[in-house]
Amino acid sequence: MWATKISRDEKSQMNILMVSVGSYGDVLPLVGLGRELRARGHTVTFFTSGHFANLVQQAELNFIAMGSAEEYDEIANHPDLWNPHKGWRLIMKRMMDGALQEAYPLLCSHLIPGKTILISSTLGFVARLVQETHQVPLGTVHLSPGVFHSAYQAPRMPGLPLPDWLPVQFKKGVWFGIDHLLIDPMLKPKLNRFRRELGLPPVSRIFHMWLHSPDLVLGLFPEWFAAHQPDWPPSTILTGFPLYDDAADAALPKAIESFLESHPQPLVFTPGSANKHGKTFFVEAAKSCQSLNRPGIFLTRYPEQLPLPLPHHVTHFSYAPLSQLLPHCAALIHHGGIGTCSQALRAGVPQIIQPYAFDQFDNGTRIKKLGVGRTISKHSFRSRILAESTEELLTSAEVTKACNTIKHSFKDTNPLKESCVLIEQMGTRLLGT
């Protein structure tokens, strides 16, 4: 759809600085994008937490640490991270307590006049500041539709039911109140103080408009997952799920292949790559596997949260590329991260989502509307309910049909390449190269 041919001049080498803030689910897609941009002849430098140094360097991208691995672990270890109301505040507080001031000169030091463009994830506020102070082209990348605070089709958030049938003007008023009473009071004072030091005017309603670049906003999800709304930024273009998990061309590890040979069609469970507080999740998962008499694969980098001993037909791996694993599995039970959702959609397997925080509630709602999964609240995530819901999904002809229909929609698509074309076109238009 977006595979527009561009001339050799349009593809002249650019100095691309990429900023990603978040966990593996936030960083991996931008690494995939950076890898594709590098393959197209551009110089790519990736700014993210030191926790991801190996990940970025293995993709053969230049790496600059923006925050230490220790700081990443400090946030990951914090019990509030996965609270639906406190997690967002925790991350915003860290950003406003010095992260921007530290990252700004670092990013500026790598600018090359007339050659540089910026690409940032949703929370890459520093890139937005550099864009304003140095007039550098910026593409903002949003991985999930929950970022857009639309008054037409509002994202599902905990404690904020805004169904589509409510009047648009009413929902606009709700978002106005949220901005002025909740979001801006946390962000505005320190952000605007730093903006004043940079010679920039103050901003308000930061999540309503300011964080979206006026040059280009890339939504890395398809129209059928979340339709473009009238009040989204005018620079928004949707391409599709990036589906990058650093192992698209790799075979499954031998240990996983061996388990699949002896335990076909297992259930896969993961509470998220950065979740260190998933003990209850895995306890109930183990009980549900026993109740259903089905094999299970538990994925977590933090095995200390697993119940021991595991049932004989359940195993644990620190990591497995979902792109390779899920086609061999019966269902995926997870936290609702957008990357995990999209891998299950492509594999055509049903999914059960137990959302914790952030965009996971909205993603779960959309999965349910598509007819390919269910959501279970944290309070209700118990083995009996989980087992019943799993059995319903696996025996439903309607769910199987919906999964297969969506699986076929991924055929002949390449969102990463399509996104690169749009990024190059933005650079060409604004740099005049």
Band the pLDDT of 236: cuts 50, 70, 90: very high
> Rounded to two decimals, what is the model's pTM?
0.91
How much of the chain is in helix, strand and coil states, percent to nearest 5?
Answer: 45, 15, 40
The residue among 421, 414, 415, 417 whose CA lies nearest residue 11 is 421
Identify the architecture of domain 254-408 in CATH: 3-Layer(aba) Sandwich (3.40)
CATH superfamily of the domain spanning 15-242+413-431: Glycogen Phosphorylase B; (3.40.50.2000)
pLDDT in tens, 325-381: 999 999 999 999 999 999 999 999 999 999 988 899 999 999 999 999 999 999 999
How confident is the model at residue 316, as a pLDDT?
A: 95
In which residue ranges of the chain is CATH 3.40.50.2000 found?
15-242+413-431, 254-408
How confident is the model at residue 84, as a pLDDT?
A: 74
How confident is the model at residue 93, as a pLDDT?
A: 79
Question: What are the structure tokens assigned to 162, written together?
Answer: 């805004």
Average pLDDT over residues 275-300: 94
Strand partners, 351: 332, 373
How confident is the model at residue 171, as a pLDDT?
A: 94
Given a cut of 80, is residue 9 above it in pLDDT?
Answer: no
User: Quick one: what percent of the chain has pLDDT higher than 70?
Assistant: 96
How confident is the model at residue 4, as a pLDDT?
A: 37
How many DSSP H helices and E strands does the chain contain? 16, 13
pLDDT in tens, 369-412: 999 999 999 999 999 999 999 999 999 999 999 999 999 999 98
Of residues 7 and 297, more confidence is placed in 297
Do residues 201 and 124 touch, judged by C-beta distance below 8 A? Answer: no
The sign one gets for the Cα dihedral 91, 92, 97, 103 is: positive
The residue among 46, 42, 38 whose CA lies nearest residue 11 is 42
Given a cut of 50, is residue 2 above it in pLDDT?
Answer: no
Sheet holding 314-317, edge to edge: 314-317, 296-299, 267-270, 331-334, 351-353, 373-375
